[in-house]
Amino acid sequence: MVVYIDGLSDTTVINSYIIDMLSRKVDAASQTEPEDGMHTAALARELLFGIGSIHTVTEMASLYYNLLSGEAVILLDGHDHAYCADTRQWKGRDVTESTNQTSVRGPKESFTETLRTNTALIRRKIKDPRLWLETIAIGRVTKTDITLMYINGVAKPSVIETARSRLGAIDIDSVLDSGYIEELVEDGKYSLFPTVYNTELPDNVAAQLLEGKVAILVDGSPNALIVPTQLVSFFQSTEDYYQRAIYASLLRILRFVSVFISLLLPSLYIAITTFHRDMLPVSLLISLAAQREGVPFPAFVEALGRARPETYDRPFCGAGGGDPGLPVDYYRFL
C-alpha cells in the first residue's frame, strides 16, 4: 500500500517510479515464485531503496508526521515497519526581489516561504562542507521545521550550544512565523533594543555566517534570524559589503552621527531653552522667545511636535492644496 496526501506530495514521482516500478517488477517476481512471499517483500525493499531518500519508521506518530510532511508511506504486508519516500512538493512562491530590503549593487534574490529553497540559496553562496544544518520540529500541533545553520569551526561552540538549547526548550502549540521563535530565544525580553537580527536576503545571512554568527530559518517564513547580534549591526546596510572599504566606513560613520544628532538635538534644545538660556546670544534668545510667544505648550511638548508660527495665504495639504473649510492654524502643526 502506498499512502500520500495529494497537494503535498509529487504525484508524478509516486505514479511513475514508486507505484509503477513496484507493480511491474513485484508482480513479475510473484509470477515466477508465487509461493515465496518473503522473496517478494525482499524484492520490494530492494526496489524502494533504489529510489533514494528512503528511511524506515516503526511508530505511528513518526508515520503521521512524515505523511503530513508530504512524504509517501509504503506499507508491506507482514512487516511491522513502513518505508517513507521523500516526495515532498507543494506550490510555493518563486525566488523574487526583496520588497523590504532592496539592494542596488548586490543580488536581488530574497528568501521564500519554503525552507529547503532558503537553505539552498545559502549553500549556493557558501560551498564549504563545514556549513552545518540542524533541523528540529517545534510546535505540538504544527510541528514546524526549524533549521539551525552555522559554519563549524567559525562560530563559537558556546553560541551554538546556547542557540540549540533555547530552541530545544521551546514548548508551544504552533509556530507560524519566525516571529514566534524570535520572542522565545532573544536576550533581555524587556529590553527596548532588539537582540535578534532578521533579514530576508540570502547574501546578508551568508555574510553573517562567515563572521561566526548563527542563523535560524523557519519553514513558512521568508525571514531568517541572526544570533547573537549587537546594536551596531542595525547600523549596517547590505550595500556595505559591495562598496569599497573607505566608502562603507564613511557611510557607517554618517549613520552613527545622524542617530546621535537625532537623539541629542531635541534634548539639547529643551535644556538650553528651559534651564540654560544664558548660553544663547541675546539676539537668538529674543528670536526664540518671539517664536514661542503664541505656543501654549512648554518646550518639551514643542520638541515633540513643533508648531510653525508662519502663516499661509493658501494652506497646503498634499497634492490637493488643503481644505479651504479648515482654519489656517490647523495646518501650522507638524
Q: Are residues 202 and 124 in the same domain?
A: yes
Q: Which amino acid is at 162?
A: T
Compute the distance between CA of residue 40 and CA of residue 47 in angstroms, rounded to an integer: 11
Is 154 inside a domain boundary? yes
Say whether both 131 and 182 belong to one domain. yes
Write down which residue in 241, 262, 278 finishes a domain.
241
Mean pLDDT of 80-89: 86
Residue 274: which of 288, 260, 291 has the closest Cα? 288
119 has a pLDDT exceeding 90 = yes
Convert the pLDDT of each residue in 144-153 to its tens digit.
999 999 999 9
Of all residues in the chain, the percent with pLDDT exceeding 90 is: 33
- Residue 163: which pLDDT band, with cuts at 50, 70 and 90? very high
Task: Say if residue 224 is in the same domain as residue 119.
Answer: yes
Dihedral angle sign, alpha carbons of residues 240, 241, 242, 246: positive
Asked if residue 157 and residue 144 are part of one domain, the reply reads yes
Q: How many residues does the chain have?
A: 334
- The whole-number pLDDT of residue 311 equals 42
Q: Is residue 301 part of a domain?
A: yes
Domain termination site, one of 218, 241, 264: 241
Amino acid 319: pLDDT? 44
The per-residue pLDDT for range 227-242, each reduced to its tens digit, is 998 888 888 887 888 8
- Look at residue 140 and tell me whether its pLDDT is greater than 80: yes
Q: Residue 102 domain-assigned?
A: no
Residues 250 and 142 in one domain: no
Identify the pLDDT of residue 73.
92
Confidence of residue 159 (pLDDT cuts 50, 70, 90): very high
Query: Dihedral sign, CA of 20, 23, 29, 32?
Result: negative
- The reply to whether 121 and 233 lie within a common domain is yes
Same domain, 164 and 233: yes
265 in a domain, yes or no? yes
Mean pLDDT across 89-106: 81
The answer on 168 and 250 residing in a single domain is no
Long-range contacts formed by 277-284: CB under 8 A, 24+ apart? none
Q: What is the DSSP string of 88-132?
A: B----PPP-B-SSS--SSS--B---S-HHHHHHHHHTT---TTEE
Q: Are residues 297 and 252 in the same domain?
A: yes
* Domain identity same for 325 and 273: yes
Residue-range definition of the domain harbouring residue 315: 245-331
Task: For residue 170, tell me if it sits in a domain.
Answer: yes
Pairwise pLDDT comparison (114 vs 27), residue with the higher score? 114
Say if residue 13's pLDDT is above 60.
Answer: yes
Asked whether residue 162 carries a pLDDT value surpassing 90, the answer given is: yes
Q: Are residues 228 and 139 located together in one domain of the fold?
A: yes
Quickly tell me which residue has 517488477 as its cell.
25
Of the three residues 225, 241, 257, the one that is the final residue of a domain is 241
Mean pLDDT of 253-263: 89
The verdict on 192 and 309 lying in the same domain is no
Judge whether 259 and 235 are in contact, CB under 8 Å. yes
Residue 184 is assigned to a structural domain of this protein: yes
pLDDT digits (tens, 9 = 90+) for 202-226: 999 999 999 999 999 999 999 999 9
As a whole number, mean pLDDT of residues 47-71 equals: 84
Considering its fold, how many domains does the chain have in total? 3
Q: Do strands 224-227 and 214-218 pair parallel, antiparallel, or not at all (unpaired)?
A: antiparallel
